[in-house]
Amino acid sequence: MGMRARLGQWLRRVGDRLDPERDPILALERQPALLAGAANPKLPSMVGLDEAPGASEDSLPSAPWQGVRERALSKSLLTLRSEAVYSLGALHAAHLAAAAVFDDRRLAVALAQRRGDPMDDEVLTKLAEAASIWHRDSASLGVALTAIGTAQVPDLTLAEALQVDDEEEASLEAMVEGYQIELQRQILEEAES
């Protein structure tokens, strides 16, 4: 069996494990009787067992969620680029909207000052600073969005694009795993600061 055939089988196994249709939790969710414990009367009902507050929709990652390692090794580079463009585009749109809101607020305060309404100069200064930050970050995101959108990538997984052998495949996995660990470390450091 050739390297490509082994790689193809490995990628299919990885894809099968990551396939949300084969996820046992999703399978249970699709069969309410199993969730209610009707399948086994010796088990307690699962309905209402976990009523603790969960994360809200706006703080949950897009589904199905995969880590950096799984995405980098199992998804096509074209798909990864597309996902990055959509995510970065959403963040860019949010920054553009926020910058526009702060611009409107600055204008309203400036017009009120011009009419002679009592306005604190500190309010105008803080609004100008906030607008500046949102505009600056929006510009950076726009540059990143353009760079990612124009990146030339094949519609192949990384291993397929590089045509790696078994030894290179193990090395590739180790490098991506190392990147994921470093990225998580950086994220934790930013969250703590």
Is this structure's pTM higher than 0.85?
Answer: no
108, pLDDT greater than 70:
yes
The helices-and-strands tally (H runs, E runs) of the chain is 8, 0
For range 165-169, the mean pLDDT: 92
- pLDDT of amino acid 87: 92
> Looking at the chain, how many residues does it have?
193
- pLDDT band for 32, please (50, 70, 90 cuts): very low
Mean pLDDT of the chain: 78
